[in-house]
Amino acid sequence: MATALLLAHGPVRPRLAASLTDFVYQRGGKIVYHEQHVDHESSLYFTRLEWDLAEFRVPLDDLDRVFGEAVGREAGLRWRIHLTGRPQRIAVFVSRLPHCLYDIAARCQSGEWPAEIALVVGNHPDLEPVAGTFGIGFLHTPVRPATKQEDERRQLAALRERGVELVVLARYMQVLSAGFIAEYPDAIINIHHAFLPAFPGAKPYHAARKRGVKIVGATSHYVTADLDEGPIIDQDVIRVGHQHTTEDLVRMGRDLERIVLARAVWMHLQRKVIVHEGRTVIFG
Amino acid sequence: MATALLLAHGPVRPRLAASLTDFVYQRGGKIVYHEQHVDHESSLYFTRLEWDLAEFRVPLDDLDRVFGEAVGREAGLRWRIHLTGRPQRIAVFVSRLPHCLYDIAARCQSGEWPAEIALVVGNHPDLEPVAGTFGIGFLHTPVRPATKQEDERRQLAALRERGVELVVLARYMQVLSAGFIAEYPDAIINIHHAFLPAFPGAKPYHAARKRGVKIVGATSHYVTADLDEGPIIDQDVIRVGHQHTTEDLVRMGRDLERIVLARAVWMHLQRKVIVHEGRTVIFG
Amino acid sequence: MATALLLAHGPVRPRLAASLTDFVYQRGGKIVYHEQHVDHESSLYFTRLEWDLAEFRVPLDDLDRVFGEAVGREAGLRWRIHLTGRPQRIAVFVSRLPHCLYDIAARCQSGEWPAEIALVVGNHPDLEPVAGTFGIGFLHTPVRPATKQEDERRQLAALRERGVELVVLARYMQVLSAGFIAEYPDAIINIHHAFLPAFPGAKPYHAARKRGVKIVGATSHYVTADLDEGPIIDQDVIRVGHQHTTEDLVRMGRDLERIVLARAVWMHLQRKVIVHEGRTVIFG
Amino acid sequence: MATALLLAHGPVRPRLAASLTDFVYQRGGKIVYHEQHVDHESSLYFTRLEWDLAEFRVPLDDLDRVFGEAVGREAGLRWRIHLTGRPQRIAVFVSRLPHCLYDIAARCQSGEWPAEIALVVGNHPDLEPVAGTFGIGFLHTPVRPATKQEDERRQLAALRERGVELVVLARYMQVLSAGFIAEYPDAIINIHHAFLPAFPGAKPYHAARKRGVKIVGATSHYVTADLDEGPIIDQDVIRVGHQHTTEDLVRMGRDLERIVLARAVWMHLQRKVIVHEGRTVIFG
């Protein structure tokens, strides 16, 4: 079933929901999902509306314009319309730690996710064999201070060439430039190996062990120009104790990182995330 | 059953455990619990040893000295020996929020805890009726800048007079002076309504809502001169989402605070906590 | 602010949501909350709609009839309309364990909940002093086989006399008769001290210890004629290990029971629960 | 560092711990880890003792006999001594679902685990390509009623030939015969996709959805002749709600299954599990 999927948000208004569903019904669409959220503190309405395109009478190329004229503009909405039904194309950026890459590659190869890895990019060559295991191309860009600008140019060219829509930083130990980030707004997902805002920056497991915390966490978030400050998509934690060494935390943390990153990418692929003022609204 | 309970830690040595258990056996004690932990990173040995006093042949007044001479000093241990069997005496410090006070009072009154509240101290008079509900005395000390020194003197005098061994800060919105803290080393427990080290300081739920976190937490810790930096005893978290207002977080957080504070006090009352270099070792 | 609160569910229909909000707007009501859920497996629509009554032009005594004629009947809905703004009246049924009673009494007395305990009913007299601590009346009904019918008659008479709307079984170790349950449909909440459907029946902590589980739980549910089979409102769990005795499980479980029961009662008091075919839909 | 690792349990006796550590010290061994647990309900002592073999003066072939004569037999212990330092050999049994196989293969290939997959066995041929991705041999044995006996004979022959020490049932939808299980006592680990003892048997996610539970789980356990009754190694859960379809539960459950199975295999590989009377003791 081919469907269209609207993500939108704007000020609360009487009959706004009805005008959205009417837009679909009156043009022959059949609604499959309609999720809504009202933030009563800010009087904002958020929605995710999916409809069957089988008898829908608007040409898809024209859909965004038609929706804007019929509803979106007058209602003061910000929106995006996605068409479902083909695999989304992901680039996975890595350094030396393979666990998140393995996890993502398995989910794509097995068909668990409606996505395919178009390219693995590494600032070290170590994980080229892992990409090879899954038959995926690998681009090595050292990203040293002297080469960073040129390396990012090469990375972006490779992403464009392969039609990449989503960049996943799978324990990629480099900071992207603001210019790179601007090319993929709300479409770069990072996994931070701590429970943000606790322990931002490097070596969070060492810091957690030193502080004697009883719980450690991981955080997946969209990447923005402010390091470790992007909108949080998911977080999770595990209990730890005095008996765990730093090495134990690192090991136990790997499973958290895998899961918390995978959940965030899944939600993004399902178009279930809306970003608003540095926070996320996540549907169902 | 009257028991003695040794909490000790020191450098790992061959046959250290045996010398501890021999100390007890050779003097007629019967071991009830023996918990041990070795921190292999620092080569430190931690233990909690409890024995039946029924046929133990060391006068209790002399026990600390005898243990020191027989084992403790030569082994380079730091230790404390507690006698169990009588209720411990707690002071609960409060401001205006009653939920933790209710929770502690119920656990003491019902006999769930081997403890009794000797006194409730408030910097506001609001919770005097709650103390009254449980038949507990209430001391009102406003703790304004001009009166703080005198107020703390009155508080300490009242604690001494009532034989208080443990101070619980049950959402007490005041900072204790270093002098006060020195009177109760490793015997003042605070509940912080956030997942430390994330969101230290005031209004953590507001900060958490603003940052858009997907999990909020609470932390119980011993109070040291560094605010919100004391050794963590317990932490716990709950999942939250975009649908939760700040008011929801405050409400959901109350249950976390109750539980995380109660668990910490329980562990302290059971003599299951050893503090070492700003961290805690917690037995079973 | 006085509000009305509609809980309704029925088959999905185009423009159903709009007909509900129109019903309110056209009669001068101002919508405060509107939560909706669509079960796509059964094509059922569930909603919770709350509106300000300040300028609402339907007499409250007539509200149910007017809604039914205007929307409810034609739409094939099942619905209930509640008026908010006055404390709901609860009866707490107990046996010998006090922890849930203390917890509920504290939440009512402190104003955390918009509710008051109208009566405590016990099949043992043990907790009469706890009720007394909070100034609540206590009815002792032994509920022995020979007296059960008469005891339930006395219980129901006392509930009616005091206007009780919700019955909370706070570790009440007796089975209510089908006749009693029929008097309070979807308005009797029980806490079962296990993770249903695991370990139904008596002594679940002993069974859990024997089976060697690594997690124990608690379950709050509406009471139906099938014991331990009623619609689940909330569940939660804690990790346990080989080091925990049955007594430890009982102790740790008490905190779970308190919280899981309190969350269920809160959700019920907030009118956030709809029961449908043995399951619950719970709004935010 | 080559080490020996003793897992032992038996009745509590004075100086038992000292006799174990003396056994090692007196023969030139250096203790690396010593974990102990006393079950006070049954008066049983459990221990895991690991020591450096560099200067240990007992021939390894003779170690089991020497330990038995020096300590084990007289102390009434049951014990096993493992030598560490070489990868353990695993067979993974599968049906059609690939997620656990991918997860285990990634952990072995990346060196996260001190183990290698010697063979994948499938009762369907579907996952042969996944085994191929990782360069692992695949044995297809249909295990139909008529062929089961012969198929198990072939499976066991293949396991023996490849020196398999641990069998992992990674969503293998077949019941092993008692004869097969007897060949690998406490060395076959299964993942059950529910929170045992809730929802044993087939289709637990469907049953969970039908019952309206608010939490679903997964359980890893050693396989014994009683289906779904073997000693539990680990369990974990996730919260679910009315908004989740059965398909959602299946999807969310996959991540639980991966993690809970991986944790159990890790603990087994680390020799951290002792089975006693249908339960497990798990060290640190």
Condensed to tens digits (0 to 9), the pLDDT of residues D219-247 reads 999 999 987 789 999 999 999 999 999 99
Q: What percent of chain B has pLDDT over 70?
A: 100
Q: What percent of chain A has pLDDT over 90?
A: 89
Q: What average pLDDT does the structure give for chain A? A: 95
Averaged pLDDT, C153-180: 97
pLDDT of residue D201: 85
How far is the C-alpha of C32 from the C-alpha of A43, rounded, in Å? 10
User: B15 vs chain D: nearest CA distance in angstroms?
Assistant: 7
Q: What pLDDT is stored for residue C170 in this prediction?
A: 98
Contacts of B284 in chain C (CB under 8 A): 243-244
The distance of Cα C130 from the centroid of its chain, to the nearest Å, equals 22
pLDDT at B185: 95
CA neighbor of A220 nearest in space, from A263, A177, A274: A263
pLDDT tier for residue A227 given thresholds of 50, 70 and 90: confident
Cα–Cα distance measured from residue C98 to residue B105, given in angstroms and rounded to the nearest whole number: 13
Q: Is C214's CB within 8 Å of D231's CB?
A: no
Whole-Å CA distances, A226 to A67, B196, C148, D179: 33, 22, 68, 61
Residues whose CB is less than 8 angstroms from the CB of residue C72 and which lie 6 or more positions away in sequence, other chains included: C8, C79
Question: Smallest CA–CA separation between B97 and chain C, in Å?
Answer: 9
Catalytic pick among B126, B228, B248, B255: B228
Place of tokens 């939760």: B244
pLDDT bracket for residue B85 (50, 70, 90): confident
Mutate which of D214, D238, D245 to test chain C, going by most C C-beta atoms within 10 A?
D214
Contacts of B109 in chain C (CB under 8 A): 102, 133
What pLDDT score was predicted for residue C85? 87
Check residue B59 and report its DSSP letter: -
Q: Which chains touch D (3 or more CB pairs under 8 A)?
A: A, B, C
State percent of chain D over pLDDT 70: 100
| CA dihedral angle for residue D183, residue D185, residue D188, residue D190, rounded to 10 degrees | 130
Q: B264 is written with which tokens?
A: 């910490």
Q: pLDDT at position A212, please?
A: 95
Closest residue to D34, CB basis, from B15, B21, B38 = B38
The three-point CA angle D226-D229-D230 to 5° equals: 95
Give per-residue pLDDT as tens, C226-244.
Answer: 877 899 999 999 999 999 9
Q: What average pLDDT does this structure show over B250-271?
A: 97
Residue B227: pLDDT band by 50, 70, 90 thresholds?
Answer: confident
Size of interface A-B (CB pairs under 8 A): 79
> Which tokens sit at A74?
């007058």
Q: What's chain C's Rg over C-alpha atoms?
A: 21
Q: Which of A188-197, B49-58, B170-179, B195-204 has the lowest average pLDDT?
A: B195-204
Which one of A242, A259, A260, A263 makes the best mutation probe of the B interface by having the most chain B beta carbons within 10 Å? Answer: A242
How close is the nearest chain A Cα to the Cα of B93, in Å? 25
Q: What is the pLDDT of residues C82-131, one digit of tens each?
A: 999 899 999 999 999 999 999 999 999 999 999 999 999 999 999 999 99
Q: Which of C166, C169, C226 is nearest to C193 (CA)?
A: C169
Band of the pLDDT at B160, cuts 50, 70, 90?
Answer: very high
Asked if residues C198 and D197 have their Cβ atoms less than 8 Å apart, the reply is yes
With cut-offs at 50, 70 and 90, classify the pLDDT of residue B280: very high
Report d(CA C6, CA C115) in Å as an integer.
19
Q: Which of A244, A249, A219, A245 is nearest to A234 (CA)?
A: A219
Check: CB of residue D9 under 8 Å from CB of residue D56. Answer: no
Distance CA A162, CA A175 (A): 22
pLDDT at C193: 93
Q: Check B99 against C109: CB less than 8 A apart.
A: no
Please report which confidence band the pLDDT of residue A60 belongs to, taking 50, 70 and 90 as the band edges: very high
Q: What is the pLDDT of residue B150?
A: 96
What does the mean pLDDT of chain B come to? Answer: 95
State yes or no: pLDDT of A15 exceeds 90: no
So what's the pLDDT on residue D40?
83
Determine the pLDDT at residue B241.
95
CA atoms within a 13 Å half-sphere pointing along the CA-CB vector of B121: 27
DSSP string, chain A: --EEEEEEEEE--TTHHHHHHHHHHTTT-EEEEEEEEEETTTTEEEEEEEEE-TT--S-GGGHHHHHIIIIITTTT-EEEEEE-SS-EEEEEEESS--HHHHHHHHHHHTTSSSEEEEEEEESSSTTHHHHHHTT--EEE----TTTHHHHHHHHHHHHHHTT--EEEESS--SPPPHHHHHHSTT-EEEEESS-TTSS-SS-HHHHHHHHT-SEEEEEEEE--SSTT-SPEEEEEEEE--TT--HHHHHHHHHHHHHHHHHHHHHHHHTT-EEEETTEEEE--
Averaged pLDDT, C271-275: 97
Please calculate the CA angle D142-D146-D147 and round it to the nearest 5 degrees. 40
- Residues from chain C that touch A32, judged by Cβ atoms under 8 A, are 40
Please check the confidence at residue D1 and state whether its pLDDT lies above 90.
no
Tokens of D15: 């100086």
Q: At what angle do helices B246-269 and B204-211 cross, to 10 degrees?
A: 130
β-pair type (C166-169, C188-192):
parallel
Asked whether the whole model's pTM tops 0.80, one would answer yes
Say if residues A233 and A220 touch (Cβ distance below 8 Å).
Answer: yes
Q: Provide the annotated active-site residues of A.
A: 228
Task: Among B35, B214, B250, B280, pick the best mutation site for testing chain A contact (most A Cβ within 10 A).
Answer: B214
Mean pLDDT over residues A170-192, rounded?
Answer: 96
The residue behind tokens 């009154």 is B109
Give the residue from C75, C121, C124, C123 showing the smallest Cα distance to C101: C121
What are the pLDDT digits (tens) for A76-109? 999 999 999 899 999 999 999 999 999 999 999 9
pLDDT at C281: 97
pLDDT tens digits, residue range D55-73?
A: 999 999 999 999 999 999 9
The sign of the torsion formed by the CA atoms of D260, D262, D267, D271 equals positive
C-alpha–C-alpha distance, residues D166 and D159, integer Å: 9
Which DSSP helix (H) or strand (E) runs through D255? helix D246-269
ipTM of the complex: 0.94
**Mean pLDDT for chain C?**
95
Measured between alpha carbons, how far is C227 from C172 in angstroms, rounded to an integer? 13
Q: Which helix (H) or strand (E) holds C17?
A: helix C16-25
pLDDT more than 90, % of chain C: 89
Q: Mean pLDDT throughout C8-20?
A: 92
Strands D166-169 and D88-94: parallel
Which chain B residue lies closest to C97 (C-alpha atoms)? Answer: B110
Contact by Cβ (8 Å): C115, C89: yes
Judged against a pLDDT cut of 80, whether residue B145 lies above it is answered with yes
- Chain D residues touching B38 at Cβ < 8 A: 33-34
CA distance D122 to chain C (A): 29
Query: What is the average pLDDT across D195-199?
Result: 90
Query: Beta partners for A190?
Result: A169, A221
* Cβ atoms of residues B190 and B224 within 8 Å: no
Closest chain D residue to C39, measured at CA: D243
